[in-house]
Amino acid sequence: MNLLSPFGWLYGRTANVRNVMYDRGILRSHSLGAKTISIGNITVGGTGKTPLVALVAEILAENGEQVCILTRGYGRSDPNQRVLVSDKENVLVNAKTGGDEPVELAHKLLGKALVVADADRVSAAKWAREKFGITAFVLDDGFQHRRARRDLDIVCIDATDSFGGGKLLPAGRLREPIGNLTRADAIVITRANFAKDLKGLRSQISDLNPDAPVFQSENHIVELPSLEEFHARTQSSQRRTERDAAWNRLYGKPGWARLFAFCALGNPDSFFAAISSELDTKAFEKMDLSETKAFPDHHYYSQADIETLEAKARENGIDALITTAKDAVKLKDLKFNVPCYVVEIQNVIDDPDRFRNLIIAS
């Protein structure tokens, strides 16, 4: 028996009481004064949510909206401070000030969306609307943030660990009982290409919420800039480098290129699996993922961490390090002697037209 199960039961009861209070109007939800779409999850840890947040923001921007991402900015140095992470045209702060995921989103959405980190998303929305004329908000990690009213509630479910073992915090990874998926307006199964039983998972979701459309998504590498190129892109006017330009530096080496992947994610194995899967394609047939290293989620790197990685790389004949955009934003001021590349991910939805229509019509 899991000794933490009683605490999980208490956590679930507390979550349900809170939800009932919102449902009955005892606790109040506040309109943000503009179209609001929430992207969230029902478990803690990485569910592949960030690429979906970026995709929704891009759809809204392409439809003529002035878009703002509202995020708490977990792990930033002062969680009580409101931080304008990006004014849409420029990334304005580093990861310690703005949080690693907000700064990652700021890089992804240059020219498309502002990013604001603030624990009080209702107050932040009012400020952003008045200062920047925002017409659409995307709530990052907003499923449990019911104080902010939303027009569309999208929940991500990770196909590789759909319900965190079925146990609530702290016994498991569930933030609230899975029956609460009935609140979701739409559900996206992330990392669907790594699902062991996708049909069974879809059936389980449909049993829990038969009215919500269910989409499947996969994350694919779309660019692979060097770390230096990645950090040079702090303004939307700077052109993005094609991923092949970065790969060609490795392809110029005789024989195979040996890669060492490292990250600090909630679900590091999914990143390593995605890299391995991509390297199995013809486009990357000369690449080999030889080493991996996982750090704790939201870890802030020191120069000693990099030196340890590089020592292992030299010991094993590694040609290059590769990492995620979320990690790259925390590496700007560190020195690398081994080439390091940044894997940039795009979310690919199985029914893109239907998903786009859902976002626009909300």
Contact 159, 189 (CB under 8 A): yes
Torsion of CA 344, 319, 257, 274, to 10 degrees: -30
Alpha-helical (H) ranges within the chain are 5-23, 49-62, 95-98, 100-108, 121-132, 198-208, 227-232, 243-251, 268-279, 303-315, 325-328, 352-361
Q: Which CATH architecture has domain 221-347?
A: 3-Layer(aba) Sandwich (3.40)
Q: 5-219+349-361 has which CATH code?
A: 3.40.50.300
Where are any strands of DSSP class E within 124-203? 136-140, 152-158, 186-190
User: For residues 78 and 83, what is the distance between their CA atoms, to the nearest angstrom?
Assistant: 9
Name the strands in the sheet holding 320-324, side by side, starting at the edge strand that comes first in the sequence. Answer: 83-86, 113-117, 67-71, 136-140, 35-41, 152-158, 186-190, 214-223, 340-349, 320-324, 257-263, 287-294
pLDDT for the residue 237: 47
pLDDT for the residue 1: 54
User: For residues 89 and 96, what is the distance between their CA atoms, to the nearest angstrom?
Assistant: 20
pLDDT for the residue 267: 85
User: For residues 340 and 322, what is the distance between their CA atoms, to the nearest angstrom?
Assistant: 5
Please state, in angstroms and as integers, the Cα–Cα distance from residue 314 to each residue in 263, 301, 335, following that order.
19, 19, 16
Contact 354, 129 (CB under 8 A): no
pLDDT in tens, 70-95: 999 888 989 999 999 999 999 999 99
User: For residues 194 and 312, what is the distance between their CA atoms, to the nearest angstrom?
Assistant: 29
User: In CATH terms, are 5-219+349-361 and 221-347 the same topology?
Assistant: yes
Find out whether the peptide bond into 170 is cis, omega within 30 degrees of 0: yes
Q: Find the distance separating the first CA and the last CA of the chain, reported in whole Å.
A: 44
User: For residues 3 and 349, what is the distance between their CA atoms, to the nearest angstrom?
Assistant: 40
pLDDT for the residue 243: 44
Q: Where are the domains of the chain?
A: 5-219+349-361, 221-347
User: For residues 200 and 295, what is the distance between their CA atoms, to the nearest angstrom?
Assistant: 32
> With a cut of 70, which residues of the chain have pLDDT below it?
1, 234-256, 280-285
> If you ran DSSP here, which 8-state letter would residue 31 be given?
-
pLDDT for the residue 45: 76
pLDDT in tens, 239-297: 444 444 545 555 455 456 889 999 999 889 888 988 888 776 655 567 789 999 999 99
pTM value?
A: 0.90
pLDDT for the residue 240: 46
